[in-house]
Amino acid sequence: MVGRTEQWKSRIGFIGGSDALIIMGDDHDKLIRLWREKRGEVLPLDLSNDLVVQLGTVTEDLNRTWYERTSGHTVQDVQRKVRHPIHKWMGATLAGRVQQTGAVYEAKFMLPSDFSEEAAANKYMAQLQHNMWVIAARSAVLSIITGCGKWVEVTIYADPLYQHLLLTAEKKFRRCVQTGEPPVLFDIETPRPRLEAIKIVDMTASNSWVELAATYLRTREAHGDHELAKTELEKLVPEDTKEAVGHGIKARRSKLNAVSFEVLPVQLAHPSSGEHIGVIAPP
């Protein structure tokens, strides 16, 4: 009980990464309980009998060692407690920070039934974005051991828009803690994680891929000729010319000096003699 009480006292004065998971989550009961914890009304849940949580705890050192051995990177600031330099009520207890890149390091244990790289990124997105915001990191690394004896590294990048929404939600929650007004779920959609591309996939069995690949190969040379013609035509348009017309196309210069092209209808491809057209002399 003493240990839980000390843990509670150490967490009551700030909002951390694990709190962000609940604040940005979809479980109203967990949100209310967190609110009551932060108000000092209840102690944190006793997770000593939660097997998955305990597996994550006992494998954390192994996880970090495996990450360092596999990646060649060093994890520093293990279990370091930090606060945001401006929003002092925002804090984080770091599992670590990658020395070579400055990335937030987080070690997790996941059961095979719950695991995919995208599922892992979605599950821990709020915690990672919170911790990145606190220490101004541009990326985070999830080092994951699964129950089937597999180790996976997932890289997540800082998302400024999501971090702005996260900060807004945390401020609202903190205000509820201060006023005593029960919080409500914020229903903020988790951004689609931008995962590091590491897979090689054989697409020969996809019919759509077959059709589109054939079209790509058939039109590739023509597309190159098209882009080259646009570049050369743009060079032919005098700098003081607003529009240039001839042989079925029109070049138009914008106020920002960008030249765009359009195909003219057949009846406009050869303007009548009554229209004033600036003549472009050949180079």
Arithmetic mean of pLDDT, 153-166 = 93
Long-range contacts of 26-32 (CB under 8 A, 24+ apart): 26/185, 26/187, 28/184, 28/185, 31/173, 31/183, 31/184, 31/185, 32/182, 32/183
Distance (Å, whole) CA 136 – CA 97: 12
pLDDT tens track for 210-264: 888 899 899 988 988 888 898 889 889 998 888 999 888 999 988 778 888 889 8
Arithmetic mean of pLDDT, 59-69 = 94
Give the list of residues 6+ apart from residue 252 with CB closer than 8 angstroms, or none: 242, 243, 259, 260, 261, 262
Closest among 132, 200, 187 to 160, alpha carbons compared: 132
pLDDT tens track for 188-206: 776 666 665 556 778 888 8
Residues 74/98, Cβ–Cβ less than 8 Å: yes
Task: Please determine, for residue 17, whether its predicted confidence score (pLDDT) is greater than 90.
Answer: yes
What is the second-level CATH architecture of the domain 2-179? Alpha-Beta Complex (3.90)
- Burial of 114-126, coded b for 16+ CB within 10 Å and e otherwise, reads ebebeebbebbbb
Structure tokens at 143: 């080092």
Residue 279 — very low, low, confident or very high, per pLDDT cuts 50/70/90? very low
Q: Calculate ∠ Cα 72-76-77, nearest 5°.
A: 160
Q: What is the mean pLDDT of the chain?
A: 86
Q: Where are the domains of the chain?
A: 2-179, 203-231, 237-283
Residue 274 — very low, low, confident or very high, per pLDDT cuts 50/70/90? very low
pLDDT tens track for 73-106: 999 999 999 999 999 999 999 999 999 999 999 9
Distance (Å, whole) CA 141 – CA 148: 21
Q: Calculate ∠ Cα 66-70-130, nearest 5°.
A: 70
pTM metric for this prediction: 0.65
